[in-house]
Amino acid sequence: MKNSSAGFRLPVAKEGLPFIAIGFGVTFLLWVFGLNPPAYAAGAATLFVVFFFRDPERIPPEGPGIILSPADGKVLEVKRIEGRDNPIGQPAVKVSIFMTVFNVHVNRSPVTGVVERVEYHPGKFFSANLDKASSENERNILALRTDDALKVAVIQIAGLIARRIVCRVAEGDRVKAGRRFGMIRFGSRLEVLLPEGSSVLVERGEVTRAGMTVIGRLPSENGDRT
């Protein structure tokens, strides 16, 4: 008989547990010492931290060649970029997604494949919705190779408040579309680089959900490959 508790997991990201524990501890101590107004403020702040680190279960859609959104947020831009100095080394389509502090911040893989490279770059902390954040902010690049040997990249970009990028995978790891691979704390930006010839199914201003929204299809679905 299957154990119903075997798959149980807390609905918050593990990176948030220390912050939540500290928040509850401070709230309790303030309440014990009769400092009610500060206790209420600390309690409210702790509840917001729980809200921020929430990590709901999601069932990703399936289908050949689909590319899923790696983040909850709003599409800032969709544009073609050249192959020079971009993580996949060839012309690509970039989809940029901005996350506010109110979005779920757990990041999910857009495709199934193998991690070819993980590359961390220290940088500045401009607001993540600005264009210069893409090239100047602290960021982490995840270069993926799909089972059809197509190259896709995901770039985690820290924002004005977000100063901690978490990446749970390493070079050589296999990732599955829609599965968690990391997060960024407190407001940030994610960019996906799709191989040229991919169909992009989102536009600027659209809202996406990590591991749920299909943002595009790989070139093989169009009978076209780069």
Catalytic residues: 188
Burial letters 142-151, b for 16+ CB under 10 A, else e:
bbbbbeeebb
Q: Which backbone phi and psi does 2 adopt, to 5 degrees? A: -70, 135
User: Phi and psi dihedrals of 184, rounded to 5?
Assistant: -130, 135
Hey, what are 190's tokens? 């994610």
Question: What are the residues whose beta carbons fall under 8 Å from the beta carbon of 55, sequence distance 6 or more?
Answer: 10, 11, 12, 13, 104, 106, 180
